[in-house]
Protein backbone atom coordinates (compact mmCIF):
# COMPACT_ATOMS: atom_id res chain seq x y z
CA UNK A 1 0.00 0.00 0.00
CA UNK A 2 1.50 3.34 -1.05
CA UNK A 3 1.58 6.41 1.20
CA UNK A 4 -1.38 8.09 -0.52
CA UNK A 5 -3.56 5.00 -0.08
CA UNK A 6 -2.55 4.68 3.56
CA UNK A 7 -3.38 8.34 4.17
CA UNK A 8 -6.78 7.90 2.53
CA UNK A 9 -7.55 4.89 4.72
CA UNK A 10 -6.64 6.87 7.85
CA UNK A 11 -8.82 9.80 6.84
CA UNK A 12 -11.77 7.50 6.10
CA UNK A 13 -11.27 5.69 9.42
CA UNK A 14 -11.28 8.97 11.33
CA UNK A 15 -14.37 10.09 9.41
CA UNK A 16 -16.34 6.97 10.30
CA UNK A 17 -15.24 7.16 13.94
CA UNK A 18 -16.50 10.74 14.12
CA UNK A 19 -19.68 9.80 12.26
CA UNK A 20 -20.29 6.96 14.71
CA UNK A 21 -19.82 9.35 17.65
CA UNK A 22 -22.22 11.87 16.12
CA UNK A 23 -24.83 9.16 15.51
CA UNK A 24 -24.53 8.09 19.13
CA UNK A 25 -25.90 11.49 20.16
CA UNK A 26 -28.01 12.23 17.09
CA UNK A 27 -31.17 12.75 19.17
CA UNK A 28 -29.46 15.21 21.53
CA UNK A 29 -29.63 18.99 21.28
CA UNK A 30 -26.29 20.78 21.05
CA UNK A 31 -25.76 24.27 22.46
CA UNK A 32 -23.21 26.84 21.32
CA UNK A 33 -20.88 25.86 24.19
CA UNK A 34 -20.75 22.23 23.03
CA UNK A 35 -23.13 20.87 25.66
CA UNK A 36 -25.30 17.99 24.41
CA UNK A 37 -28.52 17.32 26.27
CA UNK A 38 -31.65 15.23 25.96
CA UNK A 39 -34.80 15.43 28.08
CA UNK A 40 -35.68 11.83 28.93
CA UNK A 41 -38.73 12.59 31.09
CA UNK A 42 -40.63 15.87 31.21
CA UNK A 43 -41.70 17.44 34.48
CA UNK A 44 -44.39 20.06 34.93
CA UNK A 45 -42.62 22.53 37.19
CA UNK A 46 -40.89 25.86 36.64
CA UNK A 47 -37.48 26.63 35.24
CA UNK A 48 -34.86 27.68 37.80
CA UNK A 49 -33.18 31.09 37.74
CA UNK A 50 -29.63 32.09 38.57
CA UNK A 51 -29.33 32.42 42.33
CA UNK A 52 -31.89 29.70 43.02
CA UNK A 53 -30.80 26.60 44.92
CA UNK A 54 -31.45 23.52 42.81
CA UNK A 55 -31.78 20.02 44.28
CA UNK A 56 -31.16 17.00 42.08
CA UNK A 57 -30.09 13.41 41.82
CA UNK A 58 -27.45 12.44 39.31
CA UNK A 59 -25.26 9.63 38.08
CA UNK A 60 -22.03 10.47 36.29
CA UNK A 61 -20.41 8.08 33.83
CA UNK A 62 -17.61 8.03 31.30
CA UNK A 63 -18.42 7.38 27.66
CA UNK A 64 -17.65 3.66 28.21
CA UNK A 65 -20.48 3.49 30.77
CA UNK A 66 -18.27 3.30 33.86
CA UNK A 67 -19.86 5.14 36.81
CA UNK A 68 -17.55 7.59 38.60
CA UNK A 69 -20.06 9.29 40.91
CA UNK A 70 -23.71 9.02 41.91
CA UNK A 71 -25.89 10.83 44.43
CA UNK A 72 -28.34 7.94 44.11
CA UNK A 73 -25.75 5.51 45.45
CA UNK A 74 -25.15 7.82 48.41
CA UNK A 75 -28.90 8.21 48.93
CA UNK A 76 -28.47 11.96 49.28
CA UNK A 77 -29.57 14.56 46.68
CA UNK A 78 -27.06 17.19 45.64
CA UNK A 79 -27.85 20.90 45.85
CA UNK A 80 -26.06 24.02 44.65
CA UNK A 81 -26.66 27.65 43.79
CA UNK A 82 -27.35 27.94 40.09
CA UNK A 83 -25.17 30.32 38.11
CA UNK A 84 -22.71 31.00 40.92
CA UNK A 85 -19.84 28.97 39.45
CA UNK A 86 -20.04 26.36 42.21
CA UNK A 87 -20.12 23.49 39.67
CA UNK A 88 -18.63 22.86 36.23
CA UNK A 89 -19.90 25.10 33.43
CA UNK A 90 -21.79 22.27 31.75
CA UNK A 91 -23.87 21.75 34.87
CA UNK A 92 -24.70 25.43 35.33
CA UNK A 93 -25.78 25.60 31.70
CA UNK A 94 -27.59 22.27 31.56
CA UNK A 95 -29.58 22.48 34.78
CA UNK A 96 -30.81 25.96 33.79
CA UNK A 97 -32.57 24.27 30.84
CA UNK A 98 -34.57 21.90 33.05
CA UNK A 99 -38.01 22.27 34.57
CA UNK A 100 -38.68 20.90 38.04
CA UNK A 101 -39.38 17.18 37.60
CA UNK A 102 -37.40 16.85 34.36
CA UNK A 103 -34.99 14.00 33.85
CA UNK A 104 -32.21 14.53 31.33
CA UNK A 105 -28.88 13.28 30.08
CA UNK A 106 -25.99 15.71 29.63
CA UNK A 107 -22.90 15.04 27.54
CA UNK A 108 -20.27 17.48 28.75
CA UNK A 109 -17.03 17.92 26.79
CA UNK A 110 -13.82 18.82 28.63
CA UNK A 111 -14.11 22.51 27.68
CA UNK A 112 -17.14 22.93 29.94
CA UNK A 113 -16.17 20.14 32.33
CA UNK A 114 -12.86 19.75 34.13
CA UNK A 115 -10.73 20.54 31.08
CA UNK A 116 -7.11 19.45 31.27
CA UNK A 117 -7.32 19.03 35.05
CA UNK A 118 -7.54 15.55 36.58
CA UNK A 119 -10.26 15.46 39.23
CA UNK A 120 -10.13 12.39 41.50
CA UNK A 121 -10.97 9.37 39.35
CA UNK A 122 -11.78 11.60 36.35
CA UNK A 123 -8.84 11.73 33.91
CA UNK A 124 -7.84 15.00 32.27
CA UNK A 125 -9.72 15.94 29.09
CA UNK A 126 -12.62 13.59 29.83
CA UNK A 127 -16.03 13.81 28.18
CA UNK A 128 -18.58 13.18 30.93
CA UNK A 129 -22.17 11.93 30.84
CA UNK A 130 -24.67 12.77 33.57
CA UNK A 131 -28.16 11.40 34.05
CA UNK A 132 -29.89 14.01 36.19
CA UNK A 133 -33.30 14.60 37.74
CA UNK A 134 -34.27 18.07 38.96
CA UNK A 135 -36.10 17.35 42.21
CA UNK A 136 -36.70 20.81 43.60
CA UNK A 137 -36.03 24.51 43.14
CA UNK A 138 -35.63 26.79 46.13
CA UNK A 139 -36.00 30.40 44.98
CA UNK A 140 -33.21 32.75 45.94
CA UNK A 141 -34.10 34.84 49.00
CA UNK A 142 -34.92 38.43 48.17
CA UNK A 143 -32.20 40.71 49.47
CA UNK A 144 -33.21 44.30 50.00
CA UNK A 145 -30.53 46.85 50.71
CA UNK A 146 -31.21 49.01 53.75
CA UNK A 147 -32.79 52.37 53.01
CA UNK A 148 -30.66 55.00 54.78
CA UNK A 149 -32.32 58.01 53.18
CA UNK A 150 -32.53 60.84 55.72
CA UNK A 151 -30.63 58.94 58.43
CA UNK A 152 -27.69 60.44 60.28
CA UNK A 153 -24.23 59.19 59.30
CA UNK A 154 -22.01 58.56 62.34
CA UNK A 155 -18.20 58.35 62.23
CA UNK A 156 -16.01 56.79 64.94
CA UNK A 157 -12.43 57.76 65.82
CA UNK A 158 -11.10 54.92 63.68
CA UNK A 159 -12.94 56.18 60.62
CA UNK A 160 -15.73 53.60 60.69
CA UNK A 161 -18.96 55.09 59.38
CA UNK A 162 -22.42 53.77 60.09
CA UNK A 163 -26.14 54.40 59.87
CA UNK A 164 -28.62 53.10 62.45
CA UNK A 165 -31.57 51.67 60.52
CA UNK A 166 -33.10 49.98 63.60
CA UNK A 167 -31.60 50.53 67.07
CA UNK A 168 -32.66 47.16 68.50
CA UNK A 169 -33.18 46.56 72.20
CA UNK A 170 -31.24 45.47 75.27
CA UNK A 171 -27.50 45.45 75.85
CA UNK A 172 -24.60 45.43 73.43
CA UNK A 173 -22.27 42.41 73.29
CA UNK A 174 -18.98 42.47 75.20
CA UNK A 175 -15.61 41.61 73.72
CA UNK A 176 -15.34 37.82 73.67
CA UNK A 177 -19.07 37.32 73.13
CA UNK A 178 -20.20 34.93 70.42
CA UNK A 179 -22.41 36.98 68.13
CA UNK A 180 -24.82 35.78 65.43
CA UNK A 181 -25.64 38.09 62.54
CA UNK A 182 -27.20 38.22 59.11
CA UNK A 183 -25.41 40.43 56.62
CA UNK A 184 -25.13 41.50 53.00
CA UNK A 185 -21.93 43.02 51.65
CA UNK A 186 -21.65 45.44 48.72
CA UNK A 187 -18.79 47.16 46.91
CA UNK A 188 -19.17 50.90 47.38
CA UNK A 189 -17.72 51.49 43.92
CA UNK A 190 -20.68 50.00 42.01
CA UNK A 191 -23.03 48.54 44.67
CA UNK A 192 -22.24 44.98 43.55
CA UNK A 193 -23.47 42.40 46.07
CA UNK A 194 -20.42 40.21 46.76
CA UNK A 195 -21.63 38.13 49.72
CA UNK A 196 -24.74 37.55 51.80
CA UNK A 197 -25.62 35.21 54.65
CA UNK A 198 -29.27 35.80 53.74
CA UNK A 199 -28.67 34.41 50.27
CA UNK A 200 -27.27 31.25 51.85
CA UNK A 201 -30.03 31.22 54.50
CA UNK A 202 -27.26 30.69 57.03
CA UNK A 203 -26.53 33.27 59.77
CA UNK A 204 -22.88 34.02 60.46
CA UNK A 205 -21.40 33.46 63.93
CA UNK A 206 -18.06 34.70 65.27
CA UNK A 207 -16.32 35.70 68.50
CA UNK A 208 -16.29 39.45 68.93
CA UNK A 209 -12.88 41.06 69.40
CA UNK A 210 -10.90 37.92 68.60
CA UNK A 211 -9.61 39.21 65.25
CA UNK A 212 -11.57 36.62 63.29
CA UNK A 213 -13.24 39.24 61.12
CA UNK A 214 -12.12 42.55 59.62
CA UNK A 215 -11.53 45.41 62.06
CA UNK A 216 -14.60 47.31 60.92
CA UNK A 217 -16.80 44.37 61.86
CA UNK A 218 -15.27 43.89 65.31
CA UNK A 219 -15.77 47.56 66.07
CA UNK A 220 -19.16 48.00 64.42
CA UNK A 221 -20.96 44.95 65.79
CA UNK A 222 -19.85 45.87 69.31
CA UNK A 223 -22.05 48.98 68.99
CA UNK A 224 -25.22 47.03 68.20
CA UNK A 225 -28.04 45.63 70.31
CA UNK A 226 -30.13 42.52 69.62
CA UNK A 227 -32.45 43.17 66.72
CA UNK A 228 -30.44 46.18 65.59
CA UNK A 229 -29.85 46.83 61.90
CA UNK A 230 -26.85 48.95 60.95
CA UNK A 231 -25.25 49.91 57.68
CA UNK A 232 -21.45 50.05 57.98
CA UNK A 233 -19.18 51.83 55.52
CA UNK A 234 -15.77 50.27 55.98
CA UNK A 235 -12.64 51.82 54.51
CA UNK A 236 -9.79 49.60 53.23
CA UNK A 237 -7.85 50.34 56.43
CA UNK A 238 -10.62 48.69 58.46
CA UNK A 239 -11.35 46.07 55.80
CA UNK A 240 -9.03 44.04 53.59
CA UNK A 241 -6.55 46.83 52.86
CA UNK A 242 -4.41 46.34 49.77
CA UNK A 243 -5.35 42.65 49.50
CA UNK A 244 -7.80 41.33 46.95
CA UNK A 245 -10.18 38.89 48.62
CA UNK A 246 -12.20 36.73 46.22
CA UNK A 247 -14.61 39.07 44.41
CA UNK A 248 -13.40 42.05 46.47
CA UNK A 249 -10.73 44.10 44.64
CA UNK A 250 -7.73 45.40 46.54
CA UNK A 251 -8.25 48.76 48.22
CA UNK A 252 -12.05 48.48 48.28
CA UNK A 253 -14.37 50.46 50.52
CA UNK A 254 -17.11 48.05 51.62
CA UNK A 255 -20.74 48.50 52.62
CA UNK A 256 -22.31 45.97 55.00
CA UNK A 257 -25.96 45.81 56.02
CA UNK A 258 -25.86 43.89 59.31
CA UNK A 259 -28.56 42.63 61.68
CA UNK A 260 -27.54 41.41 65.13
CA UNK A 261 -29.66 38.32 65.78
CA UNK A 262 -28.22 37.13 69.11
CA UNK A 263 -25.13 36.95 71.31
CA UNK A 264 -23.97 35.00 74.35
| Residues assigned a catalytic role | 58, 68-69, 88, 114, 130
Q: Which of 79, 198, 57, 56 is nearest to 140 (CA)?
A: 198
* Separation between Cα atoms, residue 43 and residue 123, nearest integer Å: 33
Sign of CA dihedral 226, 227, 231, 234: positive
20-58: burial string, b at 16+ Cβ within 10 Å, e else: eeeeeeeebeeeeebbbbeeeeebeeeebeeebbbbbbb
Q: Which of 85, 99, 121, 95 is nearest to 35 (CA)?
A: 95
Amino acid sequence: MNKISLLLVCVLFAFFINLSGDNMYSDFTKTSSGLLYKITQSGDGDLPHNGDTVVLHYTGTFENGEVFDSSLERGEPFSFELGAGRVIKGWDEGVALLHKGDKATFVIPPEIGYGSMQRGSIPANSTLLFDVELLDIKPAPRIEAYDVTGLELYTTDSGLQYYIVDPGTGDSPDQGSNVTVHYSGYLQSDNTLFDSSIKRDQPFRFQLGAGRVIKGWDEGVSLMKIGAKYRFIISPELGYGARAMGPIPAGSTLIFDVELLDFN
